[in-house]
Amino acid sequence: MALIEVRDLDKHFPVRGGFLNRVVGHVHAVNQVSFDIKRGEILGVVGESGCGKSTLGKTMIRLLEPTRGSMRYEGQDITELSHAELMPFRRKAQIIFQDPYSSLNPRQTVREIIGEAVRFHRIVPRDQEEGYIIDLIQKVGLRADAREKFPHEFSGGQRQRIGIARALSVKPDFIVADEPVSALDVSIQAQVLNLLMDLKDEFGLTLMFISHDLKVIEHFCDRVLVMYLGHVVEEMNCIDLQDSASHPYTQALLGANPINDPSDRRPLTVLEGDVPSPFDMPPGCPFAGRCPHQIELVPMRADAHIGIAPLDAGPSIQAIRRFLGQCMQEMPPLETYVEGHRVACYAVDAEAVGAAASR
């Protein structure tokens, strides 16, 4: 059984305006998201800024209240739990925030930052608290005397290590890592990622790793969810990412990655068109306005038997769907093409996905 099960999760933020400050609409940050996370795995969530990654992570651990949908942790539905009933879950699920400075109280020392959660959840007896804090600080690669210092006395990478120590202090099973390395230098990013990997193995953690960098996701995670405008458009194993990515948005993200070989002069993938507003969501697929499959329509001719067909080919259901604007009218369902690989796109060829997965 999966450790975490998310089903049809929505998170919409009300927008108020007018003389009476009434609700005039909603920002659709997360829309109909469903997935599972197995115990001990690292699930990556990737997408451009504003696609709903961080909102999804915060909603999963009830820092934000979901609009609709359900979330189950170890089989227990946590969606409707009261504040008091959530306390056992709070200890099991923690978060590492993106900004390692604003997430730490500047008026508290490291000992107070970490010890606050330890005392609240009664992790260890009071007389063992000092030794427990020192052990945590050393596990994340800091010296024991760091516990007497304030956050402003550390570098960005060191502050992120303090945030990791705070998350580990209550002995959690599940951690949401919300872009924990995006604010750090590249050399420091590698250190923090290696630290997270070591701690994951040592403590048996399950991680949800949020990032906008597919290179980091591919290196660090077991599976990946690709999000666009609040929707999951593709889910697959990271080991298959380069060969089997099928959604045009995932392919565009891969095409925008830096190339390791400087002699490889492949053309850069550039998406045309504008990202729709999450306040005024268009009908159909949110990516349709920028999708090359939707833009490059197949020339059509009338046909007595099927009504419409491509000029240079036989009947094609995919071409007909695109010509009739189905992408613009209906949101494609997130369908399973091979085990562990789901795609939400009418233009995806199921046989091609299966052939890529078998290689």
Left (φ > 0), alpha (ψ -120 to 50) or beta: where does 35 sit?
Answer: beta
What tokens were used for 22? 């009434």
R_g (Cα) of the chain, nearest Å: 23
Confidence of residue 298 (pLDDT cuts 50, 70, 90): very low
Q: Which residues pair with 341 in a beta bridge?
A: 338
The answer for residues whose C-beta is within 8 angstroms of residue 353's C-beta and 6 or more apart is 244, 246, 337, 338, 341, 343
Sign of CA dihedral 58, 59, 62, 67: positive
User: What is the per-residue pLDDT across 142-189, written as a single tens digit (0 to 9) for each?
Assistant: 999 999 999 999 998 899 999 999 999 999 999 999 998 887 888 888
What tokens were used for 257? 């990655």
- Residue 315: predicted pLDDT: 44
- Greatest distance between any 2 Cα atoms in the chain: 86
What tokens were used for 107? 């008026």
Q: Which of 299, 300, 286, 213 is nearest to 248 (CA)?
A: 286
Q: Which amino acid is at 130?
A: E
- Residue 316: predicted pLDDT: 52
Give backbone dihedrals phi and psi of 36, rounded to 5 degrees, phi first: -125, 155
Evaluate if pTM is beyond 0.75.
Answer: yes
User: What is the per-residue pLDDT across 11-56, written as a single tens digit (0 to 9) for each?
Assistant: 999 999 888 889 888 999 999 999 999 999 999 999 988 899 999 9
- Is 1.10.1040.10 the CATH number for 4-239? no
Give backbone dihedrals phi and psi of 210, rounded to 5 degrees, phi first: -100, 130
Q: Where are the domains of the chain?
A: 4-239, 242-358
The secondary element (H helix, E strand) that includes residue 6 is strand 4-17
